[in-house]
Copies of this chain bind each other. A is one copy, B any other.
Amino acid sequence: MKEFFCGTSEITGARFSIHPMSDRFVDIILSSLKETDTTKVWMKSDDVSTCVRGRSEHVFDVVKAIYLNASKGGDHVVLNATFSNGCPGDSAGDAFMAEDSILMNDELSQKINQEVATQFALYPLGFLGYMDVIIDQIKTVDQHGVFSGGVHYASRLDGDAKKVFAALESAFESARNSDSSHIVMTVTMSANSPSRKEGQ
């Protein structure tokens, strides 16, 4: 039950899944995992999703690299991720908080250009002023030049995946510095969608 008592730890986690809309989905997922350096995060996969935990910058670095590696072949690939900060870690996770800040996958990720369409939502918990945090972070993503407007229950970002990830990470980190002690951010990111090619 210890996951239920949240509020102080600095460990960031992401629970995510990668969905290649292809008969080759198993190969695509396995090779994207293989091409990604995950040595600086705690990581565990089950039959529904994968969880990575550690320093916030490494969590974003790893999720971004896995997604870029999965989508670079041109398949329609969707990422669904929930980023979370404010639930305490455990000894297995906290061990990774001692890692340095050098990103293990940035050089590889910088070489991959991939247009994506993204919808995200931010949920600052345990805090009456949560709407102010959300509005502030819309301004943050807008400064990154990828904000495309609001839709019901989400905000939309379009552009190169690296820029979109930078905006998402920036919004998440700024929200962490708000008065909310527990921040959750959901992300749905789509690459190479045939609907998109048809002009949506």
Partner of A21, one of B3, B19, B200: B19
Q: Which residue of B is nearest A124, CB measured? A: B125
**17 more A-B contacts (CB under 8 A) besides A47-B190, A125-B125, A127-B128?**
A4-B134, A13-B153, A15-B119, A15-B151, A17-B188, A21-B23, A44-B152, A46-B195, A46-B200, A48-B193, A49-B119, A49-B188, A53-B152, A82-B121, A87-B152, A126-B127, A126-B130
- Copies of the chain in the assembly: 2
Whether A186 contacts B82 in the complex (CB less than 8 A), given A25-B76, A46-B151, A200-B47, comes out as: yes
Interface size on A, residues (CB 8 A): 58
Partner of A22, one of B21, B53, B125: B21
